[in-house]
Amino acid sequence: MIQFENISKTFHSGEAMEIKAVVNINLQINSGDFIVVVGANGSGKSTLLNLIAGTYPPEQGNLFFDKKNVNQQQEHQRAKSIARLFQNPLSGTAPELSIIENFRLAALRTSAKKISIGINQEFRNRVSNRIQLLGMGLENKLDHPMEQLSGGQRQALTLLMSTMDECKILLMDEPTSALDPRSTEIIMNLAKNIIQEKKLMALLVTHRLKDCIQFGNRVLVMDSGKIKMEFSAAEKENLKLETLQKLFLA
């Protein structure tokens, strides 16, 4: 369970460029929740995700993971339970490292990176089996550097990498905005399956309103750093695309 208690975050505080990214947010995310977050550019969606990930601490308020205050925990410490998918499909993988090396790193997300060779045949088989699920033929290219792959392929691999190790929370920040419709479908279906299969808590930031209908059990609409409206699971069932569109144009 994640709890936001009166959380605010301001960038360039006290300067002319001051941006109140998130203002006084109170929010409870229960385990098993898959929340879709929508809102205009600059409404604070990404900041919300970054606060959970620990990219920066909140300026005011407290953030709790399972009732434990994590304000002071840094990103690499929180990484033990959090996997992330970024907007830029290239940013979730290391370009010059091979596919198998990227997966090795992902498999060690929660454990120490020791000075011993961890990529053995067994590990290669494990990765290969998993990559096969994508149906992209990448299982035969384990030793190719990531930079040789397309954005869609890299985003799909990033998503798979997030499941290589224990993970409780999946944060997705417009994961498909740079992808073509086919890749988008593959990625979103894969994400949905992984979330269900691993029973993850998930947050999806998106600009595609139909994602709100298609995915998740809760919808948050953000505006100027605040939660403008929330649709619970029950409300979401009757949610129509038109309602959301009207809300945005208002």
Size of the residue set binding another protein (CB under 8 A)? 33
Q: Which is nearer to another protein, 84 or 218 (CB)?
A: 84
Minimum separation from the CB atom of position 70 to another protein (A): 15
Is 108 near another protein (CB under 8 A)?
yes
Find out whether 230 and 218 touch, Cβ atoms under 8 Å: yes
Window 30-69: residues binding another protein (CB under 8 A): 53
Find out whether 201 and 2 touch, Cβ atoms under 8 Å: yes
The two most distant CA atoms of the chain are separated, in Å, by 58
Residue from the set 92, 152, 175, 225 that interacts with another protein by CB under 8 A: 92
Question: Going by C-beta distance under 8 Å and a sequence separation of 6 or more, which residues neighbour residue 104?
Answer: 118, 119, 123
Q: What count of other Cβ atoms lies within 10 Å of the Cβ of residue 100?
A: 18
**Which of 246, 240, 237, 211 lies closest to 45 in space, CA to CA?**
211
Is 118 near another protein (CB under 8 A)?
yes
Read off the DSSP letter of residue 32: T
H/E segment holding residue 39: strand 34-39
Q: Which is nearer to another protein, 111 or 214 (CB)?
A: 111
Is 101 near another protein (CB under 8 A)?
yes
Q: Which is nearer to another protein, 86 or 231 (CB)?
A: 86
Q: Which is nearer to another protein, 91 or 224 (CB)?
A: 91
Indicate the angle between helix axes 99-107 and 151-161, nearest 10 degrees: 30
- Region of 81-89, 191-199, 224-232, 236-244 interacting with another protein (CB under 8 A): 81-89
Is 79 near another protein (CB under 8 A)?
yes
Question: What Rg, from alpha-carbon coordinates, does the chain have?
Answer: 19
Q: Which is nearer to another protein, 87 or 150 (CB)?
A: 87
Q: Which is nearer to another protein, 101 or 211 (CB)?
A: 101
- Region of 23-31, 63-71, 93-101, 236-244 interacting with another protein (CB under 8 A): 93-101
Q: d(Cα 13, Cα 9) in Å, to the nearest integer?
A: 9
- Region of 83-91, 183-191, 200-208, 218-226 interacting with another protein (CB under 8 A): 83-91
Is 186 near another protein (CB under 8 A)?
no
Q: d(Cα 172, Cα 97) in Å, to the nearest integer?
A: 23
Is 26 near another protein (CB under 8 A)?
no
Is 77 near another protein (CB under 8 A)?
yes
Compute CA distances 156 → 1, 45, 84, 228, whole Å: 27, 22, 12, 32
Q: d(Cα 191, Cα 160) in Å, to the nearest integer?
A: 9
Is 117 near another protein (CB under 8 A)?
yes
Residues that bind another protein (CB under 8 A): 53, 75-77, 79-80, 82-84, 86, 91-97, 101-102, 104-106, 108-110, 113-119, 145
